Amino acid sequence: MARILLACLWLLGLGLIAHAEEAGEGLTALPRGVELPVRVRVAVRVLNVLEVREVGGQARLHLEITQRWHDPRLAFDAVAQGLSREDRVGAEADERLKAIWSPGLVLDNQVGGRDSRTVALSIHAHGEAVVIERFEADVRVRMTMDAFPFDQQNLTLALSLPRHPQQEAVLMTTEADRQFSGIERALAVVDWRPIGLSFVNDLAMGWNARSYSRLNVTVTLAREAQRYVLRIFVPVIAVLAVSLFVLWGPGLLEKDKGSLIFSSLLALAAISFTFESSFPGAISLNTPVAEMISLGYLYLVSVLLFEVVLSVVVAQPGGRWREEAEALRGHLRWALPAMMLIVCLGAALRALPG
């Protein structure tokens, strides 16, 4: 009899331990009574673009990220409590989030911490939880300057759930969620204008070779090219236009032509340093502006070379090739500037979007 009583007490103890473990997990374990994987709906709003650093491949954004998921354990009687949802903000929301299951959404390409962070949590009577988080953060993005200053940049935000493989939780966005997504029209960066947002689902591989859900949110920005035309192209054209005076100016000596060309080369070098300082990446990276300046060196040297050599041949009264040199000189006066103009226009047109 004593053995039977002892066995019953032992089984009762096991049951109490199991119940205690289950209670210890409480609401922080994966939601029960729902179909796995748990669907975490995400909406993203870009409240502001504070800075774009092309050379460093970084951007500073002010974001609002909304997460929604359903957990039956959070449901409550709206009539008994006299409200349809519970709202918490700031520290209260953070404390409540520690006591319930949350997806653990992270921004994979974030650099550093989050500044000016605010968070709000709403729990609806039917068990839906909504977390809205606003913060400023630096993100590492891939940028290309091939079309500067006519470029568009795609800033990708990689959102993922590193705590849960895709068999347990997945990120998704629906048409209803996209109504809460978007980008503000007035941005702090005056040289950029917003184009829009796009969402693409992806997978990320974890350390244990398990796949995790990822949602790539792409913010598309277009550079305000008209702000750069006068500051970039007019100085370059003005320096290259000196070649027309060398080619067509009457009565110029060879040493005067050389002085003008070498002065233009120095001015072009000074412009390239100025551009790189004012517009980082405009010269150091492969841009149409860098291509024009590089070809400008070759063009100015070619003008000087052809003009000096042909002038020497033409200056010989009884020279064998005097007439041919005179005709070639007349053609090159038109051909060299025309070829340079066509090449520059081609580089600019090739960089235009679309």
Radius of gyration of the chain (CA): 34
CA-CA distances (angstroms) from residue 46 to 63, 134, 172, 187, 351?
5, 10, 18, 10, 27
- Note whether 9 and 17 are within 8 A (CB): no
- For position 273, what pLDDT does the model report? 85
- Note whether 222 and 234 are within 8 A (CB): no
The DSSP code for 30 is P
Q: What is the CATH number of domain 227-351?
A: 1.20.58.390
Return the structure tokens found at 43. Answer: 């909406």
Residue ranges per structural domain of the chain: 30-224, 227-351
CA–chain centroid gap for 267, Å, is 34
Instruction: Say if 30-224 and 227-351 have the same CATH topology.
Output: no
Going from the first residue of the chain to its last (354 residues), give the mean pLDDT of each consecutive group of 10, the final group possibly shorter. Answer: 52 43 57 84 95 89 95 88 88 92 92 93 93 96 83 92 90 89 92 92 80 94 85 85 82 79 90 80 74 88 83 70 76 86 83 68
- Note whether 264 and 247 are within 8 A (CB): no
- For position 24, what pLDDT does the model report? 41
Fold of 30-224: Acetylcholine Binding Protein; Chain: A, (2.70.170)
Handedness of CA 84, 90, 91, 96 (dihedral sign): positive
- For position 17, what pLDDT does the model report? 40
- For position 293, what pLDDT does the model report? 87
- For position 199, what pLDDT does the model report? 94
- For position 80, what pLDDT does the model report? 84
- For position 19, what pLDDT does the model report? 40
- For position 151, what pLDDT does the model report? 85
